Amino acid sequence: MDVVRRNNVTVTGNPQGRTVVLAHGFGCDQNMWRLTVPALEDDYRVVLFDYVGAGRSDASAFTEDRYASLDGYAQDVVEVCEALDLHDAVFVGHSVSAMIGVIAADRAPKRIGALVMVAPSPRYIDDEGYRGGFSEDDIEELLDSLESNYLGWSAAMAPVIMGNADRPELGEELRNSFCATDPDMARVFARTTFLSDSRGDLERVRVPTLVLECTQDVIAPREVGAYVHRSISGSTLVTLDATGHCPHLSAPEATNEAITAFLAGIG
């Protein structure tokens, strides 16, 4: 199995530097990091990849079985680390990827030496004594609309369907090819993501961890950021003056500063 090809792994930056793995969340691919890479590439070796089912990964490697749980995605991370023989890398995960990183770090402690969690959420659905920001109905509604409004959602996905399988050459020209995702696989990823409950994994984190949250984030409200920070002993919480769920795009300077400061701090 060629993991590098399967996960569309890209390696850039300073080959002498410590390795930083940037992992995208649900909804996009490694292009999400385009404003982050320039801030890291002078001092760090930067590894980018797409989860199987996203971006330009090898869709044929996708099985619903494996990717119906976050473990499957964590396995992608571990296999990418193994393929590149990474040691003590810093894993930067956005959104659901932050939790995938937690699982991967637990499974491959030698490979992952630090975590940066960008807008993480260990559980999206409210629970007793826990506010995730969404009711069960909310999430069902999202999954339903992904399920039933196939054409509607595919306004964003259509170019992907055309561009990916049969005519890869089209991909370059298509506007939304940044976040190329097969709709069927995206549905599986959405279900896995938004129904996940990884709160129990947080306390097992033993590596230096930075938690980045935004002041206004519909998907990961501040209570969640505080919860993650509280659950990972010794973690650092930085609240970015940013709106939305993607501070690395909406407030790239502040996000990059927080990440590079953390990286410098852990030496």
Partner 1 sequence: MMARAGQHSDPHDADDDKTAQAAFAALLEDSAEDLYESAPCGYLSTLMDGTIAKINSTLLDWLGLARQDVVGRLRFTDLLTVGGKLYHETHFAPLLRMQGQINGIALEIKQADGGRMPVLVSSVVKHGTTGEPLLIRTTVFDARDRRAYEEELLRRQRLAEEARRQAEADRARLQDTFAVLQQSLLPDTLPELPGAEAAAHYHTASPDRLGGDFYDVFPLDGKRFGFFLGDVCGKGPQAAALTSLTRYTLRAAALHDPDPVSALTTLNKVLHERYSASGDPRYCTAVFGTIDPDPAAGRLTVHLASGGHPPAVVLRADGTATYLPTPGGLLVGVLPTAPFTAASTTLGPGDTLLLYTDGLTEARTGKDRTSLYGDEALLAFAATQAGRPPHAVIEALDGLLAGFGDGLDDDTALLAIGVPSSDDPTSETR
- Residue positions annotated with a catalytic role: 95, 217, 245
Residue 245 near partner 1 by CB under 8 A: yes
Residue 32 near partner 1 by CB under 8 A: yes
DSSP state of 56: T
- Distance, in Å, from the CA atom of 228 to the CA atom of 128, rounded to the nearest integer, reads 16
Q: Give the distance from CA 32 to its chain's centroid.
A: 10
Residue 10 near partner 1 by CB under 8 A: no
Size of the site for partner 1 (CB under 8 A): 39
Binding segment toward partner 1, per CB under 8 A, in 4-12, 52-60, 131-139, 226-234:
131-139
Q: For residues 18 and 245, which CB has a smaller minimum distance to partner 1 in the complex?
A: 245
Residue 138 near partner 1 by CB under 8 A: yes
Minimum distance from residue 156 beta carbon to partner 1 (Å): 5
Q: How far is CA 127 from CA 147, 192, 231, in A?
A: 25, 18, 16
In terms of Cα–Cα distance, which of 136, 105, 140 is closest to 123?
136
Residue 118 near partner 1 by CB under 8 A: no
Minimum distance from residue 175 beta carbon to partner 1 (Å): 6
> Within 157-216, which residues bind partner 1 (CB under 8 A)?
175-176, 178-179, 194, 216
Binding segment toward partner 1, per CB under 8 A, in 56-64, 136-144, 163-171, 225-233:
136-144
Name the E strands within 124-235.
209-216
In terms of Cα–Cα distance, which of 84, 109, 77 is closest to 12?
84
Name the E strands within the chain.
10-13, 19-23, 45-49, 89-94, 112-118, 209-216, 236-243
Minimum distance from residue 199 beta carbon to partner 1 (Å): 20
Beta-carbon contacts of 45 under 8 Å, excluding residues fewer than 6 positions away, are: 11, 12, 13, 14, 15, 16, 17, 18, 19, 20
- Distance, in Å, from the CA atom of 200 to the CA atom of 244, rounded to the nearest integer, reads 26
Residue 155 near partner 1 by CB under 8 A: yes
Query: In the complex, which residues of this chain contact partner 1 (CB under 8 A)?
Result: 25-28, 31-32, 34, 95, 134, 138-139, 141-142, 144-146, 148-153, 155-156, 175-176, 178-179, 194, 216-219, 243-246, 249-250
